[in-house]
Structure 1
Amino acid sequence: MVAIRSIETAVPATVIRQSEFRDLLTGQPGYGRLGRRLVGAAFDASAIETRHTVIEEFGDGAGPADPAFLDRESGAILVPGTGARNDAYVRASRPLIVDAARKALAAAPDLDPSDVTHVVTVSCTGFSAPGPDYVLVRELGLRPSAQRYHLGFLGCYGAFPALRAAEQFCRADPDAVVLVVSVELCSLHVHLDDDPDTIVAASVFADGAAAALVTARPAPSGVALLDLDAFETTVIPEGETAMAWSIGDRGFDMVLSSYVPRIVEQHVGDALEPLLERDPEIRGALAAGLAPAEAIDRWAVHPGGRSILDRVQTALGLSDEQVDDSRSVLRDYGNMSSATVLFVLRRLLHPAGREPEAGAEAVIVERELVGAGAGAGGVADMGAALPAAPAIIPPASTPAQDARPERICAMAFGPGLTVETALLTRRLSDGR
């Protein structure tokens, strides 16, 4: 069975608190009275507390000597061109993807970098050639013959085509090991505008990276896995103009209509049906009268925003517990586009309560940011503060907690309006 063996994440060291960034924006002379009111409303309703950014001058520290995004003296947000923003993307994305990928490899100690046969990278917030796929081969010491693929400009659902491709590679070659890495630096494209779409985007999007190892090779006994059972994709034509991502002169421009949550609520049930019909067990449960929320244990809903989560929860009748991981990621990190659902899936792979102690993940993040100090590109360097692998590998869960495999449904939404869905099973390896 093709499965995700590990998922690890990386975030920039600079943290922006939602309330402070709201106040920074409302103080900008580029906003009129209506714009300031919209900023306050969007930020206060976001259900986000903190986000991470590669723009160091947005943080509490001194920042760079020659800041490109904020004039420290006047407090004015600057407006660099698209080229300067993309240059920042190239510089800052590289240490993030390497950090996440190294941790993903360390979390599967029976696999070596030389075992990786394919690299699939995902990003919609910048471009370069050679790109992130090349950087990973070089920096991680992967075999030069590793096949490389980059999926660009897909939007928030980009991790799904990447995982689907990885699953197909492993199905074709059971000895394959695929490294999937997503990196999104959304904050680089912030700019001032009274347009509600731009304001909503400024209130939710953030920066982060995530890496997953996918293989059909047997895992050591007791290791938690996420089997990749099925994938589906569909397009909602009604939303074609409601969500879009294009290249502008002042960075990339986001169209994010306020109608998107309503469109998702109306169509998410129909979009999910083909996926659920592919699984005999779930199909039987639905035929017996169970709702999807009853037939599937846990849900990884891409937290595009609070309204998206609210509408999906209402449409599918999900419990608060079933969307708690999605809401927690939104609260702590914001919307990191394609990387976000991998943050959610990592929490489902290693659920709270099955870690060594409550809040262990938060302690790791805090130690990354404060105890270790920032390394190149503003990425916190764990090496000085934490042992490389033991600190990031959760211990085996207790037998009672993991006796029954758990079915998981993951979904994300993006331009088109595209809906990507996947069925997974969390289980413990039997070593075969």
Structure 2
Amino acid sequence: MTATIRAIGTAVPDTTLDQGAVRDLFAGQPDLGRLGARIVPAAFDASAVEHRHTVIEELDAARPGGLFRQESGALVSPSTGTRNDRYRDLAPALFVAAARDAVERAAIASDRVTHLVTVSCTGFTQPGPDIDVVDQLGLPAGVFRHHIGFMGCCAAFPALRIAAAFAEADPDAVVLVVCAELCTLHVRASDDPDQIVANSVFGDGAAAAVVTSGGPGLRIERFATATVPEGASEMAWNIGDEGFEMVLSTAVPKLVGVHVPAAVTALLGEGETFTDLPVWAVHPGGRAILDRAQDALALPDGAVASSRAVLRDHGNMSSATVLFVLRDAVEQGLAPGSPVAAVAFGPGLTVESARLTAVGA
């Protein structure tokens, strides 16, 4: 029987960043050069982000200073080790909150979960947050655990592929997928255009999905993967001495626009066009990426409304984001039988996608 996403849960940190306020924080840094002074306001104002969430409370200038910001307002750039210590302390709560939300929404007892797949690219620690999910949700001690790390914004798709394979192989399988990203741990004041763009769009959040064999929800029809080799150096994710370093060049939106139609054609049925699928859960990596994808697929505004809503309210939360978009689409209302396309972009340049179908109770 075909695997189905039964429910999607989400969680965000308590601290909310107003885009205008955080723009002014970065624009007011004492060491910002002329280039940065021009790019920061332009990048933040063009982002289509209104607010985001963060685990770093001091990024809210109204709060006391801390590890990342002095009382004077000057940003500090901790070492990668120090940032990862924050990840170790703060990530488990988000993993657990999103997982609990998904399990409760699915109305499936947590002791029925047979497989746990966790995803994150913004920190490393072992024992990992998967142990916290097992302990705090009361999952069976012998639950199968698997972790996908450092794959970037498209990593929810390989996680869902693994979940679907387990569910299709065993009708009694209940697979819990949890993606949690603390992207703002890696912000820092900089004149580098890539870092400025990252500062302007990334937020923190977690999302989880319960996958079973059959049942109501979003039936997983098929997946597709494509790579754009000429984009390998344009989107990358590397570990530096002062946090993880995002490469997200201005060439990425253009590459997405050129290559996304061929990359997602495999999602279409015979005789279908892109507009025959009414909902496209496109990962909003940034406003320009979303614009180019919409234009290339000739999609009406309504088809990507959930993507734009998540970008506006949460920014780019890396691997968790596409699940936020799918949850929003479900909450807006999907008629039984309605097809849904989901797409995300990651380092490589990789395009991951899936076709889903809404299934009623």
Partners of 1:30 and 1:101 in 2: CA distance: 41
- 1:140-186 CA-partner distances (Å, limit 9, x unpaired): 11101100000000000000000010000001111100000000000
Partner of 2:148: 151
Calculate the aligned-residue CA RMSD, in Å: 1.3
Residue 226, structure 1, aligned to residue 218, structure 2 = yes
Partner of 1:336: 317
Comparing 329-338 and 55-64, the one that deviates more: 55-64
Q: Helix, strand or coil: the match of 2:154? A: coil
Residue 297 of structure 1, CA deviation: 1.7
Residue 49 of structure 1, CA deviation: 0.2
Task: List structure 1 segments (4+ residues) > 6 angstroms apart after TM superposition.
Answer: none
Alignment of 1:313-328 (within 5 A): 313-328=294-309
**1:175/1:217 contact within 8 Å kept:** no
**1:261/1:307 contact within 8 Å kept:** yes
**2:117/2:175 contact within 8 Å kept:** yes
Unaligned runs of 5+ in 1: 219-223, 277-281, 355-400
**1:412 maps to amino acid:** A
**2:267/2:341 contact within 8 Å kept:** no
**1:116 maps to amino acid:** V
Partners of 1:249 and 1:108 in 2: CA distance: 42
**1:15/1:51 contact within 8 Å kept:** yes
Partner of 2:67: 68
**1:337 maps to amino acid:** S
- 1:286-309 CA-partner distances (Å, limit 9, x unpaired): 3xxxx211x212110000000011
Partners of 1:61 and 1:119 in 2: CA distance: 38
Residue 60 of structure 1, CA deviation: 5.7
Partner of 2:263: 271
Partners of 1:93 and 1:158 in 2: CA distance: 17
Q: Helix, strand or coil: the match of 1:101? A: helix
Alignment of 1:226-265 (within 5 A): 226-265=218-257
Partners of 2:328 and 2:221 in 1: CA distance: 19
Partner of 1:374: none
**2:25/2:61 contact within 8 Å kept:** no
Residue 105 of structure 1, CA deviation: 1.1
Comparing 190-199 and 145-154, the one that deviates more: 190-199
Partners of 1:164 and 1:247 in 2: CA distance: 27
Alignment of 1:201-220 (within 5 A): 201-216=198-213, 218=215
Partner of 1:296: 277
Partner of 2:119: 122
- 1:213-256 CA-partner distances (Å, limit 9, x unpaired): 000154xxxxx510011001111111010000010000001111
Partners of 1:424 and 1:413 in 2: CA distance: 18
Q: Helix, strand or coil: the match of 1:91? A: helix
Number of aligned residue pairs: give it: 360
Q: Helix, strand or coil: the match of 2:179? A: strand
**2:80/2:241 contact within 8 Å kept:** yes
Partner of 1:45: 46
Partners of 2:32 and 2:53 in 1: CA distance: 24
Cα 1:60/1:79, change in 2 over 3 Å: closer
**2:111/2:140 contact within 8 Å kept:** yes
Partner of 1:425: 357
**1:155/1:337 contact within 8 Å kept:** yes
Residue 274 of structure 1, CA deviation: 2.6
Structure with a larger share of its residues in strand: 2
Q: Helix, strand or coil: the match of 2:316? A: coil
Q: Helix, strand or coil: the match of 1:3? A: strand
Partners of 2:193 and 2:124 in 1: CA distance: 27
- 1:390-419 CA-partner distances (Å, limit 9, x unpaired): xxxxxxxxxxx73x4110010000100000
**1:136 maps to amino acid:** V
Partners of 2:153 and 2:311 in 1: CA distance: 13
Q: Helix, strand or coil: the match of 1:156? A: helix
Partners of 2:331 and 2:188 in 1: CA distance: 37
Instruction: Give the counterpart of 1:306 among 287, 300, 309.
Output: 287
TM-score (norm 1): 0.82
Partners of 2:253 and 2:47 in 1: CA distance: 13
Residue 21 of structure 1, CA deviation: 0.6
Partners of 1:84 and 1:349 in 2: CA distance: 39
Partners of 1:55 and 1:132 in 2: CA distance: 19
Residue 62 of structure 1, CA deviation: 3.7
Q: Helix, strand or coil: the match of 1:264? A: helix
**1:233 maps to amino acid:** T
Q: Helix, strand or coil: the match of 2:7? A: strand
Partner of 2:99: 101
Partner of 1:26: 27
Identity of aligned residues (%): 55
Partner of 1:113: 110
Residue 85, structure 1, aligned to residue 83, structure 2 = yes
**1:421 maps to amino acid:** S
Partner of 1:6: 7
Partner of 1:378: none
Partners of 1:160 and 1:126 in 2: CA distance: 19
Cα 1:101/1:63, change in 2 over 3 Å: farther
Partners of 1:60 and 1:193 in 2: CA distance: 18
Q: Helix, strand or coil: the match of 1:165? A: helix
Residue 59 of structure 1, CA deviation: 2.2
Unaligned runs of 5+ in 2: none
TM-score (norm 2): 0.97
